[in-house]
Amino acid sequence: MRIGFSLPLHGSAARPEGLITIAKRAEVLGYESLWVWDRLLAPVNPKAPYPLGDGTHPVQFRSVLDPLEALAFIAGHTERITLGTSVLILPLYNPTILARQLTTLDILSNGRLKVGLGVGWNRDEADAAGVPWAQRGKCADEALLLLKALWTTDPVEFKGRYYQIPLSYIGPKPIQKPHPPIYLGAFTPAAMRRIAQQADGWNVVGVPLGSVPVMFEAIKDMCREVGRDPGELELVVRANVKISAKPLGEDRIDFQGTLEQIGADVVKARQVGATELFFDLWTAHPEVDTVDHWIMFMEQLWKIAM
């Protein structure tokens, strides 16, 4: 199981020198991947609650760096470590422009890009981007088809319900063939079917580890139904970490508790078949702000993961 770490896109560490220091330290320690998340805005009067915890929108949402710009910056300061998104909110992006952005990032990183995508839960963001809320899933389905067409065909022509491209030469193409790996977040049957039909793997976010095997097996069954080999699907787990000095009870959320408890959760992730796990601090540790904070937690988590 590969081990990764999420970069800060908020707070005092989200500055050039901070991002460089954290990324380089991760590479030296032996982490295999760095990840970024995506947030457009923090509504004052949200139309939907935050899907984790008590539903309150985290204060970190109020000021967030652009994820692709941040990864492009880090690509120039690292050599080996892969670079992933968990997740880009696909309906907020024009897929033709996004394909070029992701291709550029794959080329400039020498083929180190991993593309995590989701349909989003924040209706306020969809409204701000002009995306019909009820159509966001269908838009995402078509956008995935268009991304792959743009990455693998030249000249390319596309005639969809939401997106149109006249027969055109559009290059360059990504270094990774046929394209960078695509991981999708999923909670619902429709999203799980989208993984089975179009993705290279499931990016598990906010799902208890105990529920993962049943859901992943359901996705594999869907793969078989559409003629895909389920053995080719990867399972990538985003571990939303909160480290506690005292042990937490049995009703705790996964990856919360002492370092020993979190280490036990890492073992469980291996047991359920995760191909990659990356630690994410920002959701549960709002006090983690300085570069020294991030480095300290990174080093602690690396020790328990190994």
Whether the pLDDT of residue 77 is over 80: the answer is yes
- Topology annotation, domain 2-305: TIM Barrel (3.20.20)
Check if the beta carbon of residue 228 is closer than 8 Å to that of residue 259: no
Average pLDDT over residues 162-186: 97
Domain ranges of the chain: 2-305
Whether the pLDDT of residue 288 is over 80: the answer is no
Q: How far is CA 273 from the centre of its chain?
A: 18
- Residue-wise pLDDT for 239-267, tens only, equals 999 888 888 887 777 888 999 999 999 99
Whether the pLDDT of residue 82 is over 80: the answer is yes
pTM (two decimals)? 0.95
